[in-house]
Structure formats: C-alpha cells, structure tokens
C-alpha cells in the first residue's frame, strides 16, 4: 500500500507535528531494501510516548540491525482519529507514513493499564483484527512488553506474544526466530515460546474454580515453558545519546540518561521496586560521556538523571560535581527525579548547576510514622520536617507532596496525619521565610499490584474513600495547601486490570466497542462503558479490586517468575501487618528475595562472599 498523503490532513487537526515525523535524529531506512519491518507502538499520544525511555532504546537496537527497520506510531488524538475514519485512511507510521498493516511486527509498550483500550483502537484503525485468533499470516505479528506484561492475562486475547522483562537482549533472540519462521505463523509462535522470557498466550489454557477464582494455567504444547522467567540484563545498557528530538513540547522536554536501574529500598506497595530488581548502576565515566554526547547530538542543555531512586546512586555528589565541572561552559542544567526525603537531597539539589528555584517534589506516601513503617518507608516525621526546613531556608518555597489513601491498616487517624503533616509544613514555611509557601498535595488511591507483598489485599471501595477525601479537602483548605486527588473509579479500574485474569479480555473489548479510549484522560474516561462491559461479560469489578485474597489462592500471574519469589512476598506480607522493617539489602544483609538464584552479585552477597 502507498504512503499516506498528509497534505489534506494536517491543517484540520490540533498539533499536526504529532503526525509529521521527520524529526531530528529520526531514522528512515529503505523500505524495499529492508526485509524485517517493525512498528514500535505506544498507546498514548505523541507527547506522552516521546517521554518514554523504552521506545528510544528499542528504536536504536532494532535500527542497528542491517536487515531491520523500526518506525514509530502513537495513538492519534480524537480529532485525528475522526479524520482517519471519515476518510477511510489507516493508521500509519511516522517515519515513512506506511500503514501499520504493511509491517511484519507491531510491538506495543504497555506501561499503564488504562491504555489497554487504546491498543485495540490502534489495531482497529490499522484495519487489523484486535483478537489474535481472528488474525492470520497476512497480518503483522502483534507483540507487547513493558511493566504491564508482568501480568499479561487481561491482554492475552489480543497479543500474539509477550516479551517478559527487559527486552534489550530478548528482542534480538526473538528476531532470530522470526527470520527463520516468518512464513509459518504457528511454527513461529511455537519456536518463540521456547525462548527465555517469551510468553505465547495462545499456547496456554487458563482454568477457574466454580466460585470464579483462578485455578491454574497450563501449557498445551511441550515447547511452551510452565514458568516464564523475567529477562534481566546484567548491566545498565548504554544510554541513547542520539534520540529523536520532537518538534513540539512533550511531557519531559529534556534529555534523559538512565543512570541506575532497579531499587532495593523495598517499599511494599511499589511494583517497580520489585519487578526491576536488582540494582545496576551506569559507571560515572559512561554517564559523563553520555551527557556530553546527548547535548551535542540533540541541542539539549537540560538533562535528567533517571532512576527509581536517583539519590541512591553511589557517590551521586561526586557525579554531580564531575558533570558540573566538565560542562560548566555549556550551561548544563541537571534534574534529579526520585530523591529521598532527607536534608542531603536539599544539599544535592543546591549543588546542581544552573538550578532555578522552581518546585521540589517529594513522596512521603503516608502521613503517620506508623503507616510509613507498614509500607516499609520508615521515615521519621522529624526527618521530613527537617528536610522541608532546609528547603525553605535555601529559598525553595514551592513543594509538591505525594500521598496515598487506602493503604493497608490505614485508619482515619492516619488520613488526618496527612493534614497534620502538611499543616506543620505550611507553618514551618511561614516561620522560616515570613511568607506562606506554596504546597500542592496530590493524593492517589492505593492500588494493590501483582508481584508485590500487597498483591493479596483488597482495595478500598469508593464508599470507603469518600470520607477520607472529604477530611483531606477540609483540612488542607484550612492549612492553605492545594489538593488534587485521583478519581476512585479510575483507581478501581486500574486495580481490576492490573490483577485481572484472561476473562477480562471480553470486558476490555466491550468497553472499547462502546467507545472507551484514552481512559487515563479524565475528559475521555467513561466508567459506564466499563460497567456495561462487565455486565455483558458476567463479571464484577469488585471481585478483582475489592476482594482480599487468601495467601494460598492461585493468582493469574503466578506463571510469570519475576525473580522475587512468592515465599519472600508472603514473608513481607506478614512483616507489613507487624509494621516490621525490612532493611535495604544494598547496605545490609541479603534479604533472600529470590534473585540470588539468577544474579551473581546477589548470590555472592547471600553466601557472604562480597561486601557492599
């Protein structure tokens, strides 16, 4: 099929640069001369997708293969979708404007459950049947990866195969199989299922008990593995120093260097802290070189040093000093996301080059010390207030604080503790600077996620959350802080989709069929569509979100081995109820989470043969 002409389209849609391609550093290969053609699909708009770190990594890896071309596609906004459907035009790639149906493989990055309907919508716009069993060899192979793939079951009806874990090496092994069996779809899937980290849902059968609970999942062929092991690269991959530079402002409009992967702090609610273990650091020299190359190749003078806990990077002070000294003449500005709550973070921020006094962001998560101990984020209130005092003393008057409600063992006193802590913070700011600080409080709803110690817990219902939100609204208004909070219905849907089983495929399809898409965007979210989907499918969202599960209940994601064992998660579950701290294994003894089975450094530490 020919490339899509854009001349008659772009003037009719908002932000046409979302669809033009041709950005600086984009890669366009000869379509006819390149036999393997892959579309990297992100199921949200361009501005969100261009801020994602996974797509540039895969874009670079795949395009470095001589016989492979990789192009990008993002979910079109409503006006563009309307135009495509009205004029019977298929969804197309950015680089060559080819219809997605012309590609051999379409790979979706699944990082948030509320983008699932966008996946179906993009396939439909591409004139590709959403259900995998309705596709044949004339259609592209549909694959997916990302954090949501660690429970692949809700999307199992739509995806031909999942890449479980870190894809940098797994995708190259998959390509070898694709080259060998591309003309035989059934054999391709069977052979792919023998690869480590590849899950082919059509080769597995899920069973359920009479009460609706999940029973087990079994492979239907001898090739398919009974357990799919998460793939882990031994080192942080070399940073992408020539990423595509967008024409328009995107969510994170700066360069980004992943300096560390994984986190060992062990917050019990945090899925990322479990599924991205172990901690691996990019050496300082490589970080320094990458920052310079990123500035030269992209024109950025602001670079974000990215990790789950940037302040835990060894000798982060030395790294900042090194970068500041080397790139002083380039007017380098550094940003450090995910800093811990202590005064050393303020000192670190103050040492950054060209730092403007904008907004400092911290995540206490809970208002009371007791509840922070429950979730294994044991920070004393005195430490928190000392951190804020240090910030105010240095002229930082804008704070953004993240909390959650609905955490395990939470009481109304714990919710009131959020108000009390924020009130003390505001008073401290007035006392320190003789002017009121600007404190913005964002309150999310706790979502019990798979592969965490909280995976067995029930989520608060909307009826339980309403009085908590009312207490916060009244109390924080008096304190002089601004409050934003998450829609409980959105949070419930996230819990359902994150902990769901294969039966949810019908719900997702029916919700999309009713018009659902961009569910993460409040102006598009339509809960009634989802309720209709549940009713038509004979399922209850509360069954998945608001039901506490016994520790011996089989879980729909139990065939996915992330490295952290169920035994460790159950031990942490018990520690949670006791408010018992589990120390950071980087600075203490090995906690025997299970990664010592796979990771050399963890095994050495568990055996007492290495010292941090």
Number of domains in the chain: 2
Question: Within this chain, do residues 27 and 159 fall inside the same structural domain, yes or no?
Answer: yes
Give CA torsion, residues 239, 242, 246, 250, to 10 deg. 20
User: Domain end: 302, 330, 356, which one?
Assistant: 356
Statement to judge: residues 216 and 151 lie in one domain: yes
SS percent in the chain: helix, strand, coil, step 5: 40, 15, 45
* pTM across the whole model: 0.96
Asked whether residue 4 is domain-assigned, the answer is no
Structure tokens given for 501: 């089983």
Q: How many CB atoms lie within 10 A of CB 495?
A: 26
Q: What pLDDT, on the 0 to 100 scale, is given for residue 340?
A: 87
Separation of alpha carbons 9 and 452, rounded Å: 46
Q: Tell whether 24 and 103 lie within a shared domain.
A: yes
Task: Assess contact for 26 and 93: CB atoms under 8 A.
Answer: no
477 occurs within a structural domain: no
60 and 167 housed in the same domain:
yes
- Please name the residue that has the structure tokens 């060559």: 96
Q: Is residue 271 part of a domain?
A: yes
Query: Is 79 a domain residue?
Result: yes
Domain assignment of residue 488, yes or no: no
Strand partners, 400: 361, 440
In this structure, what DSSP letter does residue 220 have? S
Overall residue count recorded for the chain in this entry? 612
In a shared domain, residues 224 and 262? no
Q: What is the DSSP letter of 54?
A: H
439 three-class SS = strand
Q: What is the DSSP letter of 278?
A: S
State the CATH number of the domain containing residue 324: 3.30.750.210
Output the 3-class SS for 351-412.
CCCCCCCCCEEEEEECCCHHHHHHCCCCCCHHHHHHHHHHHHHCCCCEEEEEEEECCCCCCH
Stretch (H or E) spanning 257: strand 255-258
Same domain for 214 and 271, yes or no, is: no
CB 291 within 8 A of CB 319: no
pLDDT value, residue 2: 57
582 secondary structure, DSSP code:
-
Residue 310 lies in a domain: yes
Same domain, 134 and 63: yes
Instruction: Give the model confidence (pLDDT) of 117-159 as tens digits.
Output: 999 999 999 999 999 999 999 999 999 999 999 999 999 999 9
Average pLDDT, the chain: 95
What distance in Å separates the CA atoms of residue 38 and residue 30, rounded to the nearest whole number? 13
CATH of the domain at 18: 3.40.50
Cβ proximity of 536 and 448 under 8 Å: no
Same domain, 281 and 138: no
Q: What is the largest CA-CA distance in the chain?
A: 73
Is residue 1, in this structure, part of any structural domain at all? no
Residue range(s) defining the domain that contains residue 347:
254-356
Residue 33: exposed, middle, or buried by beta-carbon count in 10 A (0-12, 13-18, 19+)? exposed
pLDDT confidence of residue 612: 42
Domain membership of residue 513 (yes or no) is no
Residue 3's pLDDT is 64
Residue 201 CB contacts under 8 Å (≥ 6 apart), including other chains: 132, 152, 153, 156, 157, 159, 161, 162, 502
Low-confidence ranges of the chain (pLDDT < 50): 611-612
User: Which residues are bridge partners to 142 per DSSP?
Assistant: 106
**Residues in Cβ contact with 293 at an 8 Å cutoff, skipping those fewer than 6 apart:** 241, 242
72 & 206 share domain? yes
Residues 209 and 277 placed together within one structural domain of the fold = no
> Are 223 and 259 in a shared domain?
no
Q: Of 431, 310, 314, 302, nearest to 362 (Cα)? A: 310
- Axis crossing angle, helix 167-181 with helix 54-63, rounded to the nearest 10: 40
Residue that is last in its domain, among 335, 356, 377: 356
In this structure, the answer to whether residues 122 and 218 fall within a common structural domain is yes
pLDDT at 611: 42
The last residue of a domain, from among 172, 195, 229: 229
């Amino acid at each position: 099929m020919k490339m899509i002409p854009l001349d008659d389209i772009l003037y009719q849609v908002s932000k046409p640069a979302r669809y033009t391609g041709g950005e600086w550093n984009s890669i366009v290969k000869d379509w006819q001369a390149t036999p393997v053609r892959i579309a990297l699909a992100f199921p949200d708009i361009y501005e969100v997708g261009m801020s994602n770190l996974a797509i540039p990594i895969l874009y670079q890896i795949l395009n470095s293969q001589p016989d492979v071309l990789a192009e990008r596609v993002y979910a079109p906004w409503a006006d563009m979708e309307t135009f495509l459907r009205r004029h019977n035009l298929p969804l197309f790639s950015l680089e060559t404007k080819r219809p997605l149906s012309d590609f051999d493989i379409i790979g979706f990055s699944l990082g948030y459950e509320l983008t699932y309907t966008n996946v179906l919508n993009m396939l439909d716009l591409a004139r590709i049947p959403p259900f995998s069993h309705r596709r044949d060899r004339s259609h592209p192979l549909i694959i997916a990866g990302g954090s949501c793939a660690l429970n692949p079951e809700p999307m199992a009806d739509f995806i031909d195969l999942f890449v479980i874990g870190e894809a940098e090496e797994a995708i190259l092994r998959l390509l070898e199989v694709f080259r060998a069996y591309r003309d035989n779809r059934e054999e391709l899937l069977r052979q792919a299922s023998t690869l480590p980290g590849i899950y082919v849902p059509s080769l597995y059968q899920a069973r359920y008990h009479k009460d609706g609970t999940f029973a087990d999942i079994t492979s239907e062929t001898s090739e398919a593995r009974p357990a799919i092991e998460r793939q882990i690269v031994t080192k942080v991959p070399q940073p992408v120093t020539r990423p595509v530079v967008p024409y328009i402002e995107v969510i994170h409009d700066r360069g980004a260097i992943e300096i560390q992967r994984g986190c060992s702090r062990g917050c019990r609610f945090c899925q990322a802290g479990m599924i991205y273990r172990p901690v691996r650091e990019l050496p300082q020299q490589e970080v320094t070189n990458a920052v310079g190359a990123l500035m030269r190749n992209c024109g950025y003078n602001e670079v974000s040093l990215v990790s789950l806990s940037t302040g835990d990077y060894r000798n982060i002070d030395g790294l900042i000093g090194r970068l500041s000294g080397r790139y002083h003449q380039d007017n380098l500005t550094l940003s450090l996301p995910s800093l811990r709550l202590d005064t050393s973070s303020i000192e670190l921020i103050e040492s950054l080059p060209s730092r403007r006094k904008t907004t400092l962001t911290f995540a206490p998560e809970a208002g009371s010390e007791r509840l922070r101990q429950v979730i294994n984020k044991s920070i004393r209130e005195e430490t928190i207030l000392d951190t804020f005092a240090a910030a105010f003393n240095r002229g930082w008057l804008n704070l953004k604080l993240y909390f959650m409600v609905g955490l395990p063992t939470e009481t109304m006193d714990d919710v009131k503790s959020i108000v009390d802590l924020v009130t003390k913070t505001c008073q401290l700011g007035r006392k320190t600077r003789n002017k009121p600080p600007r404190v913005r409080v964002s309150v999310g709803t706790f979502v019990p996620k798979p592969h965490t110690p909280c995976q067995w817990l029930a989520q608060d219902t909307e009826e339980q959350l309403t009085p908590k939100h009312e207490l916060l609204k009244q109390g924080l208004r008096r304190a002089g802080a601004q409050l934003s909070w998450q829609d409980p219905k959105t949070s419930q849907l996230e819990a359902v989709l994150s902990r769901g089983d294969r039966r949810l495929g019908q719900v997702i399809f029916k919700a999309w069929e009713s018009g659902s898409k961009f569910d993460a965007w409040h102006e598009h979210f339509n809960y009634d569509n989802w309720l209709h989907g549940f009713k038509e499918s004979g399922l209850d969202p509360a069954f998945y979100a608001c039901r506490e599960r016994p520790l011996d209940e089989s879980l729909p994601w139990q065939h996915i081995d992330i490295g952290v064992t169920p035994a460790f998660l159950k031990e942490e579950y018990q520690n949670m109820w006791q408010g018992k701290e589990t120390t950071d294994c980087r600075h203490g003894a090995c906690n025997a989470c299970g990664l010592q089975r796979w990771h050399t450094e963890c095994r050495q530490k568990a055996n007492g043969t290495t010292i941090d």
